[in-house]
Amino acid sequence: MTSRATSARPRPRRAVRHLLLGLTVALVAALTPAGVPTPAQAAPTLLSQGRPATASSTENAGTPAAAAVDGNTGTRWASAFSDPQWLQVDLGARATLSQVTLQWEGAYARAFQLQTSDDGATWTTIYSTTTGAGGTQTLAVTGAGRYVRMYGTARGTGYGYSLWEFQVYGETGGSTPTCGSTNAAQGRPVTASSTENAGTPASAAVDGNAGTRWASAASDPQWLRVDLGSTQSICRVVLTWEAAYARAFQLQTSADGNTWTTIYSTTTGAGGTQTLAVTGSGRYLRMYGTARGTTYGYSLWELAVNTTGGTSEPPVDPTDPRNPNLGPNTFVFDPSTPTATIQSRLNTLFTQQETNQFGPQRYAVLFKSGTYTADVNLGFFTQVAGLGMSPDDVNLNGHVRVEAAWFGGNATQNFWRAAENLSVTLPAGVSVERWAVSQAAPYRRMHLRGAQNQIQLWNGGDGWSSGGLMADTRVDGLVVSGSQQQWYSRNSEFGNGWTGSVWNMVFQGVTGAPPPSFPNPSHTVIPQTPQVREKPFLYVDGTGEYRVFVPALRNNSTGTSWYGKTPAGSSISLSQFFIVQPGTSAATINAALAQGKHLLFTPGVHHVTEPIQVNRADTVILGLGLATIQADNGSVGMRVADVDGVKVAGIMFEAGTTNSPVLMEVGPTGSAASHAANPTSLHDVFFRIGGPHVGRATNTLTVNSDNVIGDHMWLWRADHAASGVPTGWTLNTADTGLTVNGDNVTMYGLFVEHYQKYQTVWNGNGGRTYFYQNEMPYDPPNQGAWMNGATRGYAAYKVADSVTSHQAWGMGSYCYFNVNPAVIADRAIEAPTNPNVRFTNMVTVSLGGVGTINRVINNTGGTANAANQQVYLTTYP
């Protein structure tokens, strides 16, 4: 670092200070109602001058923290030349604050927060900006605390932060926060050890309705747990018992939902309404009953929690929407970037990622609007995307392709990569673009230009590829499936149609789709998509601001959302997003969500030891570069409340080495609200149990909310060796991939593979699946290890006996019992026989004749084995 002397630059003139003061006076006058006298108030006192000050850093000995509170406008504090930095003053006692004045030297903060604290450790933000202009800023604030700090997150110059004076005004003697009357538990996500029946769910105890209740099973112990959304200082709990009360119980708090601290305990509870003064803090509170007062279970009309309003969450950095920090693994190019620079970066990434299917590296390559020449050959965990509002805003002369040379031409392991929101013009004399992929490799919102061109989903001569998605995409020419074994195309346009088929090709809302024909060729064609929302995407508008576009719901749609039309939807400035970098704690992420922020995950592996809790309707969570959330220490990766319109897109969830009960939960148990007008949707959301390390999770994705839309998901357990990764029946353990408990849930492009019990369990009514790909577990050691009661093995797709309505199209299930080829699965699909439970176009395959699937659905359909490796069934019942 180059040192600067204190007097190296002349002090700038501050004429703007008088203007700001005048505007402040005018604003106050404008906000005072006419005819209402302003209440008499004591003049605020300058509290910070001469008080102890500390800072995150100092530029040199001549610019100490104390210089910013010494009352001398000729001395200053200056920090190191990095972000973030802070300056903190100790007022000596708690004070109620009314004004902060910042007199910046030339090195000012463009983005900063003013924060208060009672202990110097837990901070509350009372002012935030991403558009600071320096000069003298006189800011009216409302807050209280003993400590006040300026927390800078983005500098306005290449130097550090520098303040001539940091002045805090207010009145000392501010009181300690009192216990509030707001019920912090009402409407929050809640779970319970058990419920007596469907009419007494856990959610009824926090719904604010004194006529509904939670009731447990009639046994001890039982518990009810509420998630407050962030760590709260809890001062009072009110329990309104139904007649079935607790004689002995504890109130407990937890930061992570796993480790509990008791803040109240009794063995002489008498029921009724108990108002209990407590002292404790935590994100979670539970009533833990150990002895019932009756022979029935435990039953609460309402559980209310009052807090002081304080939290212990870390500060949430603001986002500059014109210059966001997208992390070191995101590369943004514009048309002025030299072609050689772009190609060199692409080549380096491909060389590193071509075979790197289990490494932690993640990358995003983004192109601003314009025309480029580039050959994009995508390796593992690499996303290439345009930053235009339309795919045609970014044109690459060259290729966006996937090859399989690394695996001897076999593309069945070309997973985890993505191409989005680009148009591609092939080089002169070249008419073939190859996209040789299998699962979790979306080709979405793309435009392959030129009616003379074709895109090959593998060429048939070099090996196989096995499953993929093409959505919201236009191909001017021909799509050739070649040796691609199964594929799902949705809301796309094929100018010269489609040719080819192996096992299971599904077309939905596609113009240019081939005629319906199953099983020869195996084309399932559904004319329209009943209800879908396309995936949200990042773009840069005409002013240079980064924004996220959220497409609107479309009903009964065909074709793309963008070609020849204006996309419907809404746009959100990136200033409304918290950008999550690897290493950011779940507590910080949840603090951002609690402030109403959306989330943008940068490329990398993000470790969490408590659930990311999404409680606000319409929250957008978007990942770049297949950003991965790993659930460590047995945590849940993410929980979504039973609210409208949450969008989760471009995220991969990964199990840690300690078993998690579930990696992602959409809606708590007992969710029952209708979201038909504004469903939650999951786009390109992938899950992995094992691979880079041993992974364990009982369930992978559980959907409890109604009306949820799944738009391309792959849920996968590692069960066979690849590149020396740990595998084995007792190593990577996971019962079930997808469990659907909500009603009217729709899955478009669902891939679920290798789980040890049912791959998919569907308990809700009104469910629909369009295209299903499954491989049963490769590794049952023997038949005895894989029995479901008297049934051999577990079905790949289980619709519960209680379901009265369900539909599915284009269902494929395959076996390859290579550890013990004598293993048999009695059936691929289990479902109640009911005219409103309907399946259309199913296929089972014994891969290479290794293992047996005895029936397609229930006791219907032929046997897939060595002698008859493919079996088709067109309808059931």
CA 354, 358, 360, 362 dihedral sign is positive
Six-digit token string for 635: 């945590």
- In sequence order, which residues have a C-beta less than 8 Å from that of residue 336 and are 6 or more positions away? none
Per DSSP bridges, beta strands 109-117 and 136-155 are antiparallel
For residues 101 and 150, give the distance between their C-alpha atoms in angstroms, rounded to a whole number.
11
SS3 268: coil
Residue 775 falls in the annotated catalytic set = yes
For residues 287 and 437, give the distance between their C-alpha atoms in angstroms, rounded to a whole number.
50
| Order of all β-strands in the sheet with 699-703 | 612-614, 638-640, 664-666, 699-703, 736-740, 760-762, 797-799, 824-830, 852-857
Contact assessment for residue 152 and residue 112, using Cβ atoms and an 8 Å cutoff: yes
Task: Kindly tell me the number of DSSP H helices and DSSP E strands found in the chain.
Answer: 3, 62
CA nearest to 536, candidates 476, 624, 473, 426:
624
How far is CA 560 from each of CA 473, 805, 840, rounded to the nearest angstrom?
Answer: 6, 30, 25
Spot the catalytic one: 403, 493, 775, 830. Answer: 775
How far is CA 802 from each of CA 636, 739, 768, 832, 856, rounded to the nearest angstrom?
Answer: 28, 15, 16, 8, 21
CA 251, 256, 260, 261 dihedral sign is negative
Paired with 548 in beta bridges are 538, 572
How far is CA 193 from each of CA 458, 633, 682, 809, rounded to the nearest angstrom?
Answer: 50, 21, 28, 37
Six-digit token string for 870: 């493919």
CA nearest to 321, candidates 597, 115, 94:
597
SS3 630: strand
Strand residues in 512-611 grouped as ranges (E)? 523-526, 529-533, 537-540, 546-551, 553-557, 569-573, 577-580, 598-601, 605-608
Contact assessment for residue 88 and residue 147, using Cβ atoms and an 8 Å cutoff: yes
Contact assessment for residue 710 and residue 673, using Cβ atoms and an 8 Å cutoff: no
Report the catalytic residues: 775
